[in-house]
Structure 1
Amino acid sequence: MRYIFLTILIQFNLFAGLVGAKIVSLDLENESAKIDIEKIDVGMSCYVVHHITPEHSAILKSCVVESFDAATKTAVVKMSEFDLLKNNALPSGKWEVIVGDSVELAFGYTRSLLIAPSEEIFYQISKSIKTQWIHPDTFATLLSIHGHPTPLQEDFSNLSSASSAGLVFIYLDKKLYTVDMKSFKILAISDAPLTQDSVKLPFYSRVEKIETSWFIFGEGSDEMQSYEPHYYELLVENNKNNKTLYEIVRKSTNEEVHSLINEFEIGE
């Protein structure tokens, strides 16, 4: 089993620690910034940090890596409001993002969640990747609190905020997807030729049943009907230009999965 996951381990080492880079230019009209960086993955979530003094700093924006140019060693990050630590009872600063501010990437990438269809696959994968795992029971409990037996992207984002976890690994059809838990962008797709004899919905955990709530309606409130189509749908929704995912969906023999081909935004 260790040989099957050798490529996964090699790729995961790239996410082993927090990465910092300086903003070299700003495009305020498009709420984006350019940073100098040796190598980074598109889809990584990050924060813009403004240093008020050498000893004091403040997080001003959340952001996601939008593009990376290997020739110039630069990346563009798309910025959005940072509201993770929002507290209306406390005063907030009026600082604006400026050239020279820091972008901190890969926060929480040493803590991960694994979505697997069975106990056997869960333990085979979790023992093959060196990371600090968030047990799926924790996620199942969070879903029960919100009455979501079918997990949504916002549920993964909420878990990320609550546990400071940055990555989610999703096993689908003999492949393992490494996904940024906040942006839900695919960072890597690795072959994982494991035998799948059973499926537990919505994913393997020791929680027997994820509770619903009679006063919660809408997306996520119904029981999940099938494993692969749901997680493929979440991945496609947030990776519409991913050519590798496009080819996987195009070749799928599962009609529900194959129908997602129309959701991509890939030109001829």
Structure 2
Amino acid sequence: MRKIALIALTALPLFAGFFPSTVNTSISSVGGNTVSLRSALPVNGMSAVVIHDYGNSLEAITTYITQTASNGSAKIIGKDIIHHDELPTIKTAVSAGDKVIGGYLYNTVLLLAPDADTYAKITSSHKKLWVHPDHFAIFLTREGDAYPTKENLALFAKEYQVGLIYIVRNGSAVLLDPISGQIVGKKAMTNLPAQGRYPFFIRFEKIESGWFSKNGTGNYYQAMESI
């Protein structure tokens, strides 16, 4: 089957508890910038991709939506799914019957942790595709940003195909959906270090260029609370 943007239409494994489940549903109705889903997503704030069937075994992701109410109401939040200078921008409007994958790529996770021990404990406890924060650190230096924000996390997630940002805060952990910018999971955490490595755990001491080599001091937990 031919697919635009190499989309995966099969359901990903379901995860109970802290991690919201990835689910399949469809659009039941459309009204301007809002849509109704045939079945609600597990949590408000979860983003989803909308997939249009063009016939002749040709399908494509056309936009993102995010659920705004537990009755399955959602809003359209963007159409810039995958940009490529050599490919045309998809302009297909969302319509009733379009497929929806809620929690698309939620199995691919970036973890921002205060130290190596915390990072190792979390990543060994969950079977996820973990994107190491080293990649995000290098991304920040390339972008010239001084610290993690929802904006640069969204850009990073798009480039690296990351579905969730797992953020360890002081006494808790949250899951940020970088597409919607909403928290979709939260739980208490104990036995965390009193002070985390600023701005977050990475496997090298510094980068020779960029803000890591010049502004390496700060409070890890304050930085994570600001996201």
TM range (shorter): 0.7 to 0.9
Task: Kindly report which structure 2 residues correspond to 1:189-200, keeping only aligned pairs within 5 A, or say none.
Answer: 189-200=186-197
Q: How far, CA to CA, are the matches of 1:116 and 1:43 in structure 2?
A: 23
- TM-fit CA distance, 1:39: 4.5
The aligned amino acid for 1:43 is G
1:106-141 per-position Cα deviation (integer Å, ceiling 9, x unaligned) = 111111111111122211222222211111111111
Q: Deviations over 1:150-205 (max 9, x none)?
A: 11212211221122110111111121112212223111211211231442111011
Q: Separation in 2 of the partners of 1:138 and 1:195?
A: 23
What CA RMSD, in Å, does the superposition of the two structures yield over aligned residues? 2.3
* Residue matched to 1:233: 226
Which secondary structure does the structure 2 equivalent of 1:183 belong to?
coil
Structure with more of its chain in helix, by fraction: 1
Mapped contact 1:157–1:181 kept (Cα < 8 A): yes
Unaligned runs of 5+ in 2: 1-14
User: 1:93-132, aligned counterparts within 5 Å?
Assistant: 94-132=91-129
Q: Describe the SS at the equivalent of 2:125.
A: coil
1:148 aligns with 2:145: yes
Secondary structure, aligned partner of 1:95:
coil
Q: Counterpart in 2 of 1:133?
A: 130
Q: Secondary structure of the equivalent of 1:68? A: coil
Q: Does 1:20 align with 2:24?
A: yes
Question: Any conservation in 2 of the 1:113–1:168 contact (CA below 8 Å)?
Answer: yes
TM-score (norm 2): 0.82
* Aligned-partner residue type, residue 174 of structure 2: Y
Partner SS state of residue 174, structure 2:
strand
Q: Which runs of 5+ in 1 are unaligned?
A: 1-8, 70-74, 214-220, 235-268
Task: Describe the shift of the 1:115–1:91 C-alpha distance in structure 2 as closer, same or farther (beyond 3 A).
Answer: closer
Q: Distance in 2 between matches of 1:126 and 1:94?
A: 39
CA shift at 1:96, angstroms? 2.0
Q: TM-score, normalised by structure 1?
A: 0.71
Taking only the aligned residue pairs, the percentage that are identical comes to 24
Larger-gyration structure (1/2): 1
Q: Pick which of 136-145 and 88-97 moved more.
A: 88-97
Conserved in 2, the CA contact under 8 Å of 1:33 and 1:77?
A: yes
Displacement of 1:89 after TM fit?
A: 4.0
Q: Is the 8 A contact 2:47 2:67 kept in 1?
A: yes
Higher deviation after alignment, 191-200 or 204-213: 204-213
Q: Give, as a single letter, the amino acid of the residue that structure 1 aligns with 2:50.
A: V
Partner of 2:180: 183
Q: 1:53 matched to which residue of 2?
A: 55
Corresponding residue for 1:72? none
- Where has structure 1 moved over 3 Å in runs of 4 or more? 87-94, 221-224
Count of residues in Structure 1 that have an aligned counterpart in Structure 2 = 210
Once residues 119 and 192 of structure 2 are traced to their aligned partners in structure 1, the CA distance between those partners, rounded to angstroms, is 12
Taking structure 1 as reference, are residues 135 and 93 closer, same or farther at Cα in structure 2, changes over 3 Å only? closer
Q: How does 1:5-44 map to 2 (within 5 A)?
A: 10-12=16-18, 14-15=20-21, 17=22, 19-28=23-32, 31-37=33-39, 39-44=41-46
Q: Deviations over 1:45-103 (max 9, x none)?
A: 1122111015111222221111112xxxxx11210332132335433455322111122
SS in 2 for 1:157: helix
Provide the C-alpha distance between the structure 1 equivalents of 2:192 and 2:128, rounded to a whole number of angstroms. 23
